[in-house]
Chains A and B, each alone.
Chain A
């Protein structure tokens, strides 16, 4: 390993904490980085969840940990919903746990196609439902 995770986590926390402009940090997957307080300095924590139980459980725990760190805005982004049933499952779960939903991004082939062709979603299909949905998340955060 080139560098240990602890250094990366401190670096992320400090960089984001001192950044003055708009900053988006893509964190390591999972919860381990929360125990080191990696996201402690952000204004918003977006926890991406998929409509299946293990993803929702991990997401709920991330939301709790984010709140414990004192992050002012914490919410879920419900990704890859394929149906009204998926949406209902996510909504019920989040309501039950008191988790605000910051956005809905539908399942979208355009995301898979962009990944396969090694392109950004915004360059591949800016008009796709997923891109439009992420734009509304951006609006609600920035607005």
Chain B
């Protein structure tokens, strides 16, 4: 059961994504929540404290590696999603693990 939540900005995607992830976690015992937004705020919608939400770890880009697939260079995972969730997953209520994929650094230090 893999669900993507899309929509125009401000429509309430993140509240729905966070709430769904927790409800699926309750139901199935565990769930993975993936924050693909460049201004990530799924953490708070999942119930993690707002203080410190901006300093939560993000998944480093070297979990991807270039590999030749059918003669074409592609970015693929170098680790399994389970390993990635174990190392960079942030525990949230109801058995959810949160992976934050990226954050635009407005301070320009990146």
Contact = CB atoms under 8 A, between A and B. Distances in A.
A2 B99 CA distance: 16
A44 B5 CA distance: 9
Interface string B44-73: 111101100000001101011000000000
B63 A11 contact: yes
Contacts, number: 238
A24 interface: yes
Interface residues of A, number: 69
Contact of B7 (A15, A20, A29): A29
A42 B2 CA distance: 5
A85 interface: no
Interface residues of B, number: 64
A48 B81 contact: no
Contact of B77 (A18, A59, A62, A114): A18
| Highest count of chain B CB atoms <10 Å: which of A30, A41, A58, A134 | A134
A19 B81 contact: yes
B16 A79 contact: yes
A123 B37 contact: no
A47 interface: yes
Query: Would you list the 6 A-B pairs with minimal beta carbon distance, nearest first?
Result: A2-B110, A118-B50, A120-B47, A29-B9, A48-B7, A26-B17
Interface of A: 1-3, 5, 7-12, 14-30, 33-34, 38-39, 41-50, 54-55, 58-59, 62, 66, 71, 77, 79-80, 105, 111, 114-115, 118-123, 130-131, 134-135, 137-138, 141-142
17 contacts: A3-B61, A8-B101, A17-B2, A22-B1, A23-B1, A23-B32, A23-B33, A24-B20, A24-B34, A43-B3, A49-B7, A49-B8, A58-B8, A111-B12, A122-B47, A123-B47, A142-B1
